[in-house]
Chains A and B, each alone.
Chain A
Amino acid sequence: MKFLRNLVEGMKPTFSKGGKLEKLHWVFDGLETFLFTPGHATERGAHIRDGIDLKRTMSIVITAMIPCLLFGMWNVGHQHYNALGFLREVEVGFWHKMMFGAVKVLPIVVVSYGVGLGIEFLFTSIKGHPIQEGYLVSGMLIPLVMPVETPLWMVAVGSAFAVIIGKEVFGGTGMNILNVALTARAFLFFAYPTMMSGDKVWVSTANDMNFPLVDGFSGATSLGHAAAGNISKVTPMMDSFWGLEAGSIGETSAFACLIGAAVLIITGIGSWRIMLATLLGGAAMATLFNWVGPQLDEAYTTRMYMQIPVLHQLVLGGFMFGLVFMATDPVTATQTNTGKWIYGFLIGLLAILIRVVNPAYPEGMMLAILFMNVMAPLIDHYVVQANIKRRMKRVALQTA
Chain B
Amino acid sequence: MSTETAAPAKPADGLFSKKNRKLITDPLNDNNPITVQVLGICSALAITVKLENALVMSASVMAVLIAGNMIISALRNLIPGRIRIIAQLVIAAGLVTLVDIILKAYVYDVSKQVGVYVGLIITNCILMGRFEAYAMGNKPIPSAMDAIGNSLGYAWILVAVAFFRELFGNGSLMGLRIIPESFYAMNGGGYFNNNMMILPPMALVIVGIIIWIQRARNTKLIEQA
In the complex, A19 has a CB within 8 A of chain B:
no
Interface string of B202-219 (1 = CB under 8 A from A): 000100110010000000
The CA of A153 and the CA of B199, in the complex, are separated in Å by: 21
The one of B194, B208, B209, B212 that contacts A191, using a Cβ cutoff of 8 Å: B194
Contact B197 A191 (CB under 8 A): yes
The one of A153, A154, A190 that contacts B195, using a Cβ cutoff of 8 Å: A190
The one of A151, A190, A194 that contacts B196, using a Cβ cutoff of 8 Å: A190
Interface of A is mostly: helix
The one of B192, B196, B199, B208 that contacts A169, using a Cβ cutoff of 8 Å: B208
Q: Which of A163-186 contact B (CB under 8 A)?
A: 165, 169
User: What total of chain B residues lie within 8 Å of the partner, measured CB to CB?
Assistant: 11
Provided the pairs A165-B205, A169-B212 are in contact, do residues A187 and B192 lie with their beta carbons within 8 angstroms? no
In the complex, B190 has a CB within 8 A of chain A:
yes
Q: How far is the CB of A185 from chain B (nearest CB, A)?
A: 12
In the complex, A351 has a CB within 8 A of chain B:
no
Contact A191 B195 (CB under 8 A): yes
User: What total of chain A residues lie within 8 Å of the partner, measured CB to CB?
Assistant: 12
In the complex, A144 has a CB within 8 A of chain B:
no
Interface string of B173-204 (1 = CB under 8 A from A): 00000000000000000101011110100000
Residues of chain B lying within 8 A (CB to CB) of residue A191: 194-197
Provided the pairs A151-B190, A153-B190 are in contact, do residues A187 and B208 lie with their beta carbons within 8 angstroms? no
Residue of B nearest to A190 (CB): B196
Residues of chain A lying within 8 A (CB to CB) of residue B196: 187, 190-191
Q: Which of A342-388 contact B (CB under 8 A)?
A: none
Residues of chain A lying within 8 A (CB to CB) of residue B192: 154, 192, 194-195
The CA of A54 and the CA of B108, in the complex, are separated in Å by: 61
Provided the pairs A153-B190, A195-B192 are in contact, do residues A190 and B212 lie with their beta carbons within 8 angstroms? no
The CA of A193 and the CA of B212, in the complex, are separated in Å by: 28
Provided the pairs A151-B190, A153-B190 are in contact, do residues A193 and B208 lie with their beta carbons within 8 angstroms? no
Q: How far is the CB of A247 from chain B (nearest CB, A)?
A: 21
Most buried by B among A165, A187, A190, A194: A190
Q: How far is the CB of B225 from chain A (nearest CB, A)?
A: 13
Residues of chain B lying within 8 A (CB to CB) of residue A151: 190
Residue of B nearest to A186 (CB): B196
Which residues of A pack against B, CB within 8 Å?
151, 153-154, 165, 169, 187, 190-195
- Listed by A's residue number, 10 A-B pairs whose Cβ atoms lie within 8 Å are A151-B190, A153-B190, A154-B192, A165-B208, A165-B209, A187-B196, A190-B195, A190-B199, A194-B192, A195-B192
